[in-house]
């Protein structure tokens, strides 16, 4: 399979056929959930309850296989669509060591999108507004990797990291619950601010920072004082 780097020639023109929005499982992280919630004027709790698969970090689909956010006019959350939608028709792969590569996603056989070489992969990423999504994804995954390091679990692909963490803790109900709740940024931030008598930040970037600190604290607690001692 062809491997691309940021400076590889690449361009893509979307003709809004929307065929790429069918029969997919779109995975979302807490930042993407928060962006989608803002877009819909909902809390993250409401967004998760109404638009995600039950108990899973994936967007729901409509009965015909269309993404839950697809409308007759195209994506109904375009400005806040998740990373995987922005980066399509590419996929980014990262190893646990942070090596990055890009690959062509499998297109719908009748896609009207046009592939070209008028720019570079980097140009495409910038035009799709990907930098903040990639940065947050990397911060989030780094915390999850820390969790897996503590457990001495090797994971080849960052997409598998959180699922692996859930599997490792599958016999611990309280940790399973915590991992599930991590998707719900509003709950995590509100609980933390109430417990520490802090004003809840309004800005999403500040909320994200609080959220990641809570995750770090949780990992430290479970690695130092919890049942799961550092095995390295």
Q: Which residues bind ligand SF4 (CB under 6 A)?
A: 21, 24, 26, 67, 69-70, 75, 77, 81-82, 85
- Count of C-beta atoms within a 10 Å radius of residue 129: 13
Q: How far is the CB of 30 from ligand SF4 (least distance, A)?
A: 16
Q: How far is the CB of 28 from ligand SF4 (least distance, A)?
A: 9
CB of 78 or CB of 191, closer to ligand SF4: 78
CB of 70 or CB of 155, closer to ligand SF4: 70
CB of 52 or CB of 77, closer to ligand SF4: 77
CA 142/CA 25 separation, integer angstroms? 23
CA 209/CA 193 separation, integer angstroms? 13
Residue 93: name the closest of 102, 83, 105, 84 by CA: 102
CB of 26 or CB of 219, closer to ligand SF4: 26
Q: 154: which residues sit within 8 A by CB, 6+ positions away?
A: 96, 148
Q: How far is the CB of 182 from ligand SF4 (least distance, A)?
A: 21
CB of 35 or CB of 158, closer to ligand SF4: 35
CA 148/CA 168 separation, integer angstroms? 9
Given 3-state DSSP classes, what are the helix, strand and coil percentages for the chain, each rounded to the nearest 5? 45, 15, 35
Q: How far is the CB of 178 from ligand SF4 (least distance, A)?
A: 27
Q: How far is the CB of 41 from ligand SF4 (least distance, A)?
A: 16
- Count of C-beta atoms within a 10 Å radius of residue 214: 18
H or E element in which residue 11 lies? strand 9-13
């Amino acid at each position: 399979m062809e491997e691309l780097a940021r400076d590889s020639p690449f361009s893509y023109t979307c003709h809004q056929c929307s065929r790429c929005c069918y029969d997919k499982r779109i995975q979302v992280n807490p930042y993407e959930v928060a962006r989608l919630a803002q877009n819909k004027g909902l809390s993250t709790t409401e967004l998760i309850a109404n638009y995600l698969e039950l108990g899973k970090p994936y967007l729901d689909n409509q009965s015909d296989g269309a993404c839950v956010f697809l409308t007759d006019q195209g994506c109904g959350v375009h400005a806040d669509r998740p990373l995987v939608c922005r980066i399509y028709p590419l996929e980014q792969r990262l190893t646990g060591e942070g090596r990055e590569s890009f690959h062509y996603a499998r297109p719908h056989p009748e896609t009207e999108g046009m592939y070209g070489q008028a720019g570079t992969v980097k140009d495409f990423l910038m035009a799709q507004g990907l930098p903040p999504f990639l940065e947050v994804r990397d911060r989030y995954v780094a915390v999850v990797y820390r969790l897996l390091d503590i457990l001495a679990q090797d994971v080849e692909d960052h997409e598998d990291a959180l699922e692996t963490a859930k599997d490792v803790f599958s016999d611990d109900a309280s940790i399973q619950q915590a991992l599930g709740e991590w998707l719900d940024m509003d709950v995590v931030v509100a609980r933390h601010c109430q417990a520490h008598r802090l004003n809840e930040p309004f800005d999403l970037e500040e909320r994200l920072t609080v959220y990641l600190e809570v995750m770090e604290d949780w990992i430290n607690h479970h690695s130092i004082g919890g049942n799961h001692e550092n095995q390295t």
